[in-house]
Amino acid sequence: MASTVFVSIMTLGVPFAALLYAYSTRRLLPFLLGVSAFVVSQIIIRLPLLELLAAKSSSYLLWSVKYPIAFVLFLSFTAGIFEELARWIAMRYWMKQREGLSGVVFGLGHGGIEAFLLVGLPVMTTLANIHWLSGAERLIAIVIHIGLSLIVLDSVKRQRFAYCVLAICIHGMINAFAGLLPFFLPASAAPIVIETVLFLLAILTLSIAIVLRRKGEGK
């Protein structure tokens, strides 16, 4: 029961608090653009395409079973490509508030809706007892999305698309670590090790974003 409460706070309470924060700081548009970037890139485009590919191509299904590591890498980097390009497009064409805090709020929207749709909504509808690590993972993911949003925002502000490519690579690498580590770890140790690695990667992503931002401000 306690784990379910913790997961609910991380996947329902935190996104709702982020929404209130965005509204109170007059950054509702960056927040909603972050939400839209995830929903459009993943829920509307990428996941249906993958489902269609699985339904129509026996070769795809055979490849996913025969080469699981390559399949994990494929899933990891397509997620990075779709999400980071959606982030770049949203910031480039619709987000006029481009200071650092707006980038943070964008990341809160992106990571918040992901947490809500992937974990919070199932918990709310099924009332299932979810392991507390699911809540910790979503909080870590939100931090990662904040860092990636800041990197892509720098890409837009400084007109350096290479930074967007960097975000794609970081996103894909993080997903790949999460997907590949279970192949090499005992089942009992895998969850804690994976979350520890993701936590360190979240700190690294945020640090890279801060360094790039400071580098840009120094010019």
For 72-94, how does the pLDDT look when each residue is reduced to its tens digit (9 = 90+)?
Answer: 999 999 999 999 999 999 999 99
For 27-85, how does the pLDDT look when each residue is reduced to its tens digit (9 = 90+)?
Answer: 999 999 999 999 999 999 999 999 999 999 999 999 999 999 999 999 999 999 999 99
For 1-19, how does the pLDDT look when each residue is reduced to its tens digit (9 = 90+)?
Answer: 678 888 888 999 999 999 9
Structure tokens at 61: 């299904």
Distance CA 41, CA 77 (A): 13
Distance CA 215, CA 213 (A): 5
**Domain locations in the chain as residue ranges:** 2-217
Model confidence, pTM: 0.94
Q: What angle do CA 169, 21, 147 make, to 5 degrees?
A: 15
